[in-house]
Amino acid sequence: MSAGDTGWILVSIALVMLMTPGVALFYGGMVRKKSVISTLMMNFAMLGVIGLLWVVYAYSLSFGPDIGGLIGNLKHVFLTGVEAEPSGVYATTVPHLAFMMFQGMFAIITVALITGAVVERIKFSALMVFAVAWLTLIYAPVAHWVWGDGGWLLKLGALDFAGGIVVHINAGLSALALVLVLGARRGFKHEPMEPSSIPLVMIGAALLWFGWFGFNAGSALGASGLASSALVATNSAGAAAATTWMLLAWNQRRPTLLGVATGAVAGLAAVTPGAGFIPPIYGAAIGIIAAIVCYYAMIAKMKLGVDDSLDVMAVHGIGGILGVLAVGIFASAAVNPAGTDGLLFGGGLSLLGKQLVGTVSVGAFAFGGTWIIAKIINATIGLRVKEMEEVVGLDLSQHGERAFGGIR
């Protein structure tokens, strides 16, 4: 056990925790005034619900002893066997409890990310049922495939340093499936849907960027050179993508704060799978590519007419896919001996192929699985609020609260 590593992981847990309220503010600023509370609530409530279920059973399903490469068993239910000593399998220099909680923060934010696609019309009760089902049936298996000891994608050799597959592709494709079942907001494409507060968006993006240091550099699972390398790659990607998006918007008309914030998040998402496998300067390259691709993905989405309201697919899905494939190109065993060389460093197409398998299998599983879960919820308790509730806004109809004061 290492005190330095333990200290860094405990700090990283706290950093990643702050990302979920960060997502809440990022999303909350982008929706209309009448839906701010509802959007914040969809995210903040995950800290409660998913945070609880994680320690009850979801950690065990994700990281418990392997069953057929597909899922963990129930050995660690109620944290049985998760002690202050290292696990012996995962993160062998820090307490098993710390590793468990670090992973728990990832599960929380991944579910929270999906909500951006369905804001302003999903029933809160339906979303909570969805969250529980999705954590159990989609997140836990995927986390096990990619990171769990014995998981089939891990054994295959697909690399995902901090969650490009588990978090971003998983959330992006699931969000898309959920939207297709739920449908577009009333007035989508016809009514102006003005963001309630761009400053909130910036605060949210800033908290995300801040937390991402724990997310990516924390995934080194130690206070090490590798953590530093991941941190530099992360910041370089965020910075490059923010700048690139600013220039894209400027070229179109004016440089927007919403654009800089969005660009930063796209770059940070894209560098996540590779942060600890690539030479850090390639983080900047990934950031630039991510900003350009995600920018045009949003334009394409608008043309397709799918109301993925806050672009979970375009930012996290596309950014994640891009980043996971970039690992196959930019990964270097010299940076991280646990990884392998990508195309650029003489590793040939082998790693890229494995990355593609990870992308396609998880993408298909997340999309298909979520679609089925959404259909079942829709057929039973219903996914969508009543028309009048949507017109009034979800803040009042679902929560009886409003974000900004009344007449006094």
Partner 1 sequence: MKKIEAVIREEKLDAVKKALEEMGIHGMTVTEVSGRGQQKGISLQWRVGEYRVDFLPKLKVEVICHDDDCHLAIEAIMKSAKTGRIGDGKIFVMPVEAAYRIRTGETGEAVI
Write down how long the chain is.
408
The residue ranges that bind partner 1 (CB under 8 A) are: 192-195, 249, 252-254, 256, 258-259, 262, 295, 298-299, 302, 311
* Beta carbon nearer to partner 1, 88 or 194: 194
Judged by beta carbon, residue 73 or residue 252, the one nearer partner 1 is 252
Please, which residue, 208 or 230, has the CB nearer to partner 1?
208
User: In the bound complex, what is the minimum distance in angstroms from residue 274's beta carbon to partner 1?
Assistant: 24
Specify the 3-state DSSP secondary structure of 384. Answer: strand
Q: How far is the CB of 27 from partner 1 (least distance, A)?
A: 13
DSSP letter for 184, please: P
Q: Report the nearest approach of partner 1 to the CB of residue 237 (Å).
A: 18
We find the least distance from the C-beta atom of residue 408 to partner 1, in angstroms, to be 14
Rounded to the nearest whole angstrom, what is the least distance from the CB of residue 354 to partner 1 in the complex? Answer: 33
Question: Among residues 99, 98, 102, 103, which one has the least CA distance to residue 90?
Answer: 99
Could you tell me the smallest distance in angstroms from the CB atom of residue 253 to partner 1?
6
**Greatest extent of the chain over all pairs of C-alpha atoms, in Å:** 67
CB of 283 to partner 1, least distance (A): 22
Among residues 84 and 300, whose Cβ is nearest to partner 1? 300
CB of 398 to partner 1, least distance (A): 25
Cβ burial, residue 384 (10 Å; 0-12/13-18/19+) = middle
Give the dihedral of Cα atoms 42, 307, 165, 239; nearest 10 deg: -90
* Contacts for 241 with CB less than 8 Å, ≥ 6 apart: 263, 264, 266, 267, 268, 270, 287, 288, 290, 291
Q: Please spell the DSSP secondary structure of 185-241, one letter per residue.
A: PTTTTTS----S-HHHHHHHHHHHHHHHIIIIIGGG-SSSHHHHHHHHHHHHHHHHH
Alpha-carbon distance of 172 to 364, in angstroms, equals 11
**Contacts by residues 206-209 (CB-CB < 8 Å, ≥ 24 positions apart):** 206/22, 207/18, 207/19, 207/21, 207/22, 207/25, 207/26, 208/19, 208/22, 208/23, 208/26, 208/264, 208/265, 208/268, 209/238, 209/264, 209/265, 209/268
Q: Which is nearer to partner 1, 8 or 295 (CB)?
A: 295
| Minimum CB distance to partner 1, residue 222 (Å) | 37
Closer to partner 1 by CB, 151 or 317: give it: 317
CB of 270 to partner 1, least distance (A): 16
Selection from 370, 322, 375, 301 nearest residue 110 by Cα: 370
Contacts of residue 262, Cβ cutoff 8 Å, sequence gap at least 6: 205, 245, 294, 311, 315
Residue (160 or 311) nearer to partner 1, CB: 311
Dist. CA 208–CA 210, nearest whole Å = 5
**Residue placing its CB nearer to partner 1 in the complex, 46 or 260:** 260
Residue 384: strand pairing partners: 122
Sort 174 into a burial class: Cβ within 10 Å, 0-12 / 13-18 / 19+: buried
Please identify, using beta-carbon distances, which residue of 10 and 36 lies nearer to partner 1.
Answer: 36
Q: Which is nearer to partner 1, 85 or 191 (CB)?
A: 191
